[in-house]
Chains A and B, each alone.
Chain A
Amino acid sequence: MKKNAIKLLMISLVMISCSKNEDVANSVNLHFNNTFKNTTIVLGGLDSPVATTNTSADGQVHQFSELKYVISNIRLVKADGSEIPYNVNDLDKGATVVNQAKLSSLDYMLADIPVGEYKQIKFGLGIKPGLNTLDQFRFPVFYATAEANDTEMMWQWATGYRFAKMEGFYENDHKKFTIHTGSTLNGKPGQPDTYVQGVDAYRDITLDLDTRLVVGGNKPQITIKADFDKLFSGKNKISINAKYATAPQQHEGMEVMVEYVNNLGGDDKEDRAGMFSIEKVEN
């Protein structure tokens, strides 16, 4: 009798663990399409014949030689409104650097997403306060990704990460621009009342999935468009000049940077999309 009971238990345990692999969760791929309006960006050096050019609202022609940004704090919202956080407090498992020069970085696979229908995706452009310290001990993988020489997504002096890095050339004489964003907020992790004397460049993005994401048998993909036309021609129309070409530097500091941050990631109030939109959902 006892033996039979144990057998039954074992079998049911095996069944439970099996069913967990096949029906309970699946992966979701996030694909990032970095564009100027509807054209996917091709990077290029000073006199590159292939680099995609764009014209700003102010009529300034520009192109990118480098384009990187950090995505973290990813959450998927189910049809019933419940939120599935994806390693939101673990930069090693839940954050990535999207680098236009590195094809593999344009895809980010979310593993073990519970089965179901999803109506929304939320994520952060940059890293939320409290996690944004250069903590190699806690998150060696992300630290290494950010530190890599071809990436350099760190502000050592502020012991924080760079959130976005856009470099390139503008106007016919190909003047250089260098736009970097990041936070300088100080305080204790997870205690917002201690955050003082800094600029918060983290932006929380919310995008509706008009075609619902279905996690189940297949491995669905969400293509997120990041339209860098918005950099100079978003809510803030920015004319690139000496002052605006080296944000946040050139003695003008963070005020200029925040205009760019709001164009890319919204203002964290009414505009929660910034340059981002859902291009398509493939189930």
Chain B
Amino acid sequence: MKTVIGILFTLLIILSCSKEDSFVLDNDSNPEIPFFIPTDFPALNTTVKDNRPTKYGVELGEKLFNEKRFSGNNTISCASCHNPSLAFSDGKMQAIGIEGRVGLRNTPPLQNLAFMKFYNWDGNILELEKQPLVPIITHEEMNSSILEVIRKIGDDSDYKDLFQKAFGEGGITPDRIYRSIAQYEYTLISANSKYDRVKRNEGERFTAEEERGYTTFKTKCASCHGTELFTDQSFRNVGFPMNPNPEEAGRGRVTGRQADQMAFRVPSLRNAAYTAPYGSFGQFPTLRSVLDYFDKGVLDAENLDSILKENGNRIPLTEQEKLAIIAFIGTLSDPTFIGK
């Protein structure tokens, strides 16, 4: 009798355990991908540890990233705007969704996201897993819904197989879609530019022009474009020409603070040579036009960034300095990342 009760208890425990949805990583059949953290990069976003990239999680995420059935009329995928050959940006002023609909802002490039604390130009997303839903449901982007997506891909045997390999029993769920896409995006690390190789003393050297540019950069740009990500991840109103769309309030839309009106996340300059046009809605066609604008003077605002205010609302730059800075920014291009 006691044995029967014992067996029953064991069964109950097994049953209750198996009911839990948390998927225990099986390192043999679906190993974690070793995380390569480049020298001097900032700490990982704390959510990465709860969603470590795995072999099949990333494979699934990449497949979903290129899945056109995410959009209402099956015409665009994540990769349509986040084009790998442009450092996952799209070369357009503002993002173009289904049926040619124009979005509010410039498509942000995707790189080194595992090290970012804020996502999107206004930083409204703090966990990458929460981002994939936004384009899926936004009218100007994919104009679909997560259940519609699951309906469309649910019978696909390749997907069934991959979801099983990546997450175990339990099929296709919204959460697993978000997690696998985030896992794939966490692996998009760019740290093999000429700048990195020079830093790592791998035998390469800056040209004289690049070296001059780096010197100017450190005094006139690095207070915002700091750290090895070339952004300090702060939000600043730098007095750029304003988006005429009344929906736009910059980070003010998120925080409700007057100080955040028309403030945007400082963009990383890594691979900037591939990510034109620039500005929150693509106001600037070239890097040169951005530098000219800063030199000439920016729009005034009550909450204009204090560094600009202290310098008469401008960053004075000579012709030589501009050319040298652009040459230096060129050393942040990582050809091994492009088209990844």
Q: A137-B173, A147-B145, A156-B137 are in contact. Are A253 and B126 (CB under 8 A)?
A: no
Residues of B within 8 A of A246 (CB): 246
Residues of B within 8 A of A255 (CB): 256-258
- The answer, yes or no, to whether A251 is at the interface (CB within 8 Å) is yes
- Using an 8 Å CB-CB cutoff, how does the interface string of A119-157 with B read, 1 for contact, 0 for none? 000000000000000111100100100010000001011
Residues of B within 8 A of A198 (CB): 254-256
Contact between chains at A156 and B146 (CB < 8 Å): no
- The answer, yes or no, to whether A275 is at the interface (CB within 8 Å) is no
* 21 A-B contact pairs sorted by A residue (CB < 8 Å): A134-B137, A137-B175, A140-B147, A156-B134, A156-B137, A156-B138, A158-B254, A184-B254, A186-B126, A197-B123, A198-B255, A199-B254, A248-B253, A251-B252, A251-B261, A251-B262, A253-B252, A253-B253, A253-B261, A254-B252, A255-B257
Contact of A134 among B123, B133, B175, B247 (CB under 8 A): B133
Contact between chains at B134 and A252 (CB < 8 Å): no
- The answer, yes or no, to whether B38 is at the interface (CB within 8 Å) is no
Contact of B255 among A137, A199, A250, A251 (CB under 8 A): A199
A-facing residues in B100-119 (Cβ within 8 Å)? 104
- The answer, yes or no, to whether A223 is at the interface (CB within 8 Å) is no
Contact between chains at A251 and B242 (CB < 8 Å): yes
Contact between chains at B249 and A184 (CB < 8 Å): no
Min C-beta distance of B175 to chain A, whole Å: 8
Min C-beta distance of A246 to chain B, whole Å: 6
Q: Is the interface of A mostly helix, strand, loop or mixed?
A: loop
Q: A184-B124, A197-B254, A251-B246 are in contact. Are A137 and B133 (CB under 8 A)?
A: no
A-facing residues in B64-80 (Cβ within 8 Å)? none
- The answer, yes or no, to whether B139 is at the interface (CB within 8 Å) is yes
Chain A residue at minimal CB-CB distance from B131 = A159
Contact of B133 among A159, A248, A249, A250 (CB under 8 A): A159
- Using an 8 Å CB-CB cutoff, how does the interface string of B137-155 with A read, 1 for contact, 0 for none? 1110000011100000000
Min C-beta distance of A108 to chain B, whole Å: 25
Residues of B within 8 A of A258 (CB): 256
Min C-beta distance of A240 to chain B, whole Å: 15
Contact between chains at B253 and A254 (CB < 8 Å): yes
Contact between chains at A137 and B246 (CB < 8 Å): no
Residues of B within 8 A of A135 (CB): 174
Contact between chains at B249 and A253 (CB < 8 Å): yes
Contact of B124 among A158, A248, A251 (CB under 8 A): A158
Bound-state CA distance A197–B138 (Å) is 22
Chain A residue at minimal CB-CB distance from B135 = A156
- The answer, yes or no, to whether A196 is at the interface (CB within 8 Å) is yes
Contact between chains at B134 and A257 (CB < 8 Å): no
Contact of A157 among B124, B146, B260, B261 (CB under 8 A): B124
Min C-beta distance of A244 to chain B, whole Å: 13
- Using an 8 Å CB-CB cutoff, how does the interface string of B247-276 with A read, 1 for contact, 0 for none? 111001111111011100000000000000
Contact of B138 among A157, A199, A248, A251 (CB under 8 A): A157
Bound-state CA distance A79–B146 (Å) is 44
A-facing residues in B216-242 (Cβ within 8 Å)? 242
Residues of A within 8 A of B247 (CB): 249
- The answer, yes or no, to whether B130 is at the interface (CB within 8 Å) is yes
Contact between chains at A137 and B253 (CB < 8 Å): no
Most A-side CB within 10 Å, residue of B104, B137, B260: B137
Min C-beta distance of A165 to chain B, whole Å: 15
Chain A residue at minimal CB-CB distance from B247 = A249
Residues of B within 8 A of A254 (CB): 249, 252-253, 255-257
B-facing residues in A142-188 (Cβ within 8 Å)? 143, 147, 154, 156-159, 184, 186
Residues of A within 8 A of B145 (CB): 136, 143, 147
Chain A residue at minimal CB-CB distance from B146 = A136
Most A-side CB within 10 Å, residue of B124, B126, B175: B124
Most A-side CB within 10 Å, residue of B124, B173, B253: B253
Q: A137-B174, A140-B147, A157-B134 are in contact. Are A249 and B249 (CB under 8 A)?
A: yes
